[in-house]
Structure 1
Amino acid sequence: MHITSDVSKLSAIVDDLASQGWSQQADFLPAELVSALAAECRRRAGDGQLNPAGVGRGGTLEVREAIRGDHIRWLEPGESSACDRYLDTMDALRQAINQGLFIGLEDYECHFALYPPGAFYRRHLDRFRDDDRRAVSAVIYLNQDWQPGDGGELRMFLDDQRVHDVAPTAGTLVVFLSGDVPHEVLAAGRERLSLTGWFRRRGNEPF
């Protein structure tokens, strides 16, 4: 079944966001699409298209490997069939969130993220202090045969003082409110691939 027609998964994400501010879904994408996206990420890395990620934005953007060590490449429509299928899926999720939560999400931006062995990303929030357009974060993992000792977990710091770790196993999707869930990426023991993105709304408007 194509994920955009799997209403139960989309509804589960919306319900989780409403009740706890985050959701984790295993096997969110078909395995063949996950493999195609992983291959696309590696192809772009091999072609030198991924660049060290920066911290901040605009004139304050700078590469600081003591804070984050991933390499990224933003997606644009029409670059590959696998990427377009993924973008279509996320647009279906955007519409479901809008229908269920009335957040007014207008678009979705995302990039491939490749963490070399040993790379990490220190604790942070996804929403910028001076720009509140990022409303909901979404990360899909592309790593086949990921083992417990490989590290690279997404660690979320939740409101009730709990810490929740997500292993970056292939097909797992994590969605959370961008301004409410501090998180970090623990050091990866092997190459770690993901697609990381944000559903955005108009700025400076209350939910």
Structure 2
Amino acid sequence: MNFHPESPLLQRIVDDLAERGWSRQDVFLPAELTAALAVECRVRAVSGQLEAAAVGRGEGQAVREGIRGDRIQWLEGGQSESCDVYLAIMDALRQALNQGLYLGLEDFESHFALYPPGAFYQKHLDRFRDDDRRTVSAVLYLNEDWQPGQGGALRMYLSDGEECDVPPLGGTLVVFLSADFPHEVLPATRERLSLTGWFRRRGNGPV
């Protein structure tokens, strides 16, 4: 799989961010890679590697399921072939964003997220008040055969006051400027799997 910064798909994302600050690509990855990443997420869940996600930072960090109900595990290189391929693709996107938008993105961090049925994440921004490194958010969905009545949409609050609901269909990638778009995850009637990540620049916040 040969993703490079000049590929038309990555350039569409760059153009979308330049024009409106966010991008939705309904078929970002081949079905085989999306399925392999979903299997990897479920294997980690069954083996107890996913942990309840917290909100806040530092001493204020805490698990608050009334705000956020997903279970997560961070990706690191060398953990699995499918994850390494995904991280390589996202690094090509990082380079494309830097070349097209001069964002100075230095790295990409990402975690698996599994929302049990009924779980949600209340409206929030991805950039912390005391750390401005997160610049571009990226969410890849891993759910096969998602049906309209199953819920689980990503609800984005756009700059023009409109709302946009993105269903978590497997292979769909949503990319947006982290500081500009409040969003929430609506509850679903089945497990909801994703890879959530952030392109980060050198910032003024604490390391």
**What's the TM-score once normalised by structure 2's chain length?**
0.97
**Could you say what the CA RMSD is over the residues aligned between the two structures, in angstroms?**
1.2
Distance of 1:5 and 1:65 partners within structure 2: 38
Distance of 1:108 and 1:190 partners within structure 2: 29
Cα deviation for residue 4 of structure 1 reads 4.0
Contact 2:5–2:95 at 8 Å: present in 1 too?
no
Q: 2:11 is matched with which residue?
A: 11
Q: 1:146 is matched with which residue?
A: 146
Q: 1:199 is matched with which residue?
A: 199
Runs of at least 4 residues of structure 1 off by over 3 A? Answer: 1-6
Matched, 1:48 2:39: no
Contact 2:53–2:70 at 8 Å: present in 1 too?
yes
Distance of 2:197 and 2:203 partners within structure 1: 17
Q: Which amino acid in structure 1 is aligned with residue 103 of structure 2?
A: I
1:163-182 map, 5 Å: 163-182=163-182
Cα deviation for residue 2 of structure 1 reads 3.8
Deviations 1:141-198 (A, max 9, x none): 0000000001000000001001001000000000000000000000011000000000
Aligned partner of residue 155 in structure 1, secondary structure:
strand
Q: 1:73 is matched with which residue?
A: 73
* CA gap 1:193/1:36 in 2 versus in 1, 3 angstroms: same
Unpaired runs of 5+ residues, structure 2, are none
Distance of 2:157 and 2:184 partners within structure 1: 9
How much identity, in percent, do the aligned residues show?
69
Cα deviation for residue 27 of structure 1 reads 1.1
Distance of 2:166 and 2:6 partners within structure 1: 23
Aligned partner of residue 69 in structure 2, secondary structure:
coil
Deviations 1:115-153 (A, max 9, x none): 000000000000000000000000000000000001000
Aligned partner of residue 139 in structure 1, secondary structure:
strand
Distance of 2:63 and 2:53 partners within structure 1: 6
Distance of 1:27 and 1:17 partners within structure 2: 18
- Matched residue count: 205
Unpaired runs of 5+ residues, structure 1, are none
**What's the TM-score once normalised by structure 1's chain length?**
0.97
Q: 1:129 is matched with which residue?
A: 129
Distance of 1:185 and 1:153 partners within structure 2: 6
Contact 2:5–2:93 at 8 Å: present in 1 too?
no
Distance of 2:144 and 2:5 partners within structure 1: 25
1:52-67 map, 5 Å: 52-67=52-67
Contact 2:152–2:188 at 8 Å: present in 1 too?
yes
Q: 2:31 is matched with which residue?
A: 31
Q: 2:98 is matched with which residue?
A: 98
Distance of 1:76 and 1:108 partners within structure 2: 11
* CA gap 1:193/1:6 in 2 versus in 1, 3 angstroms: farther
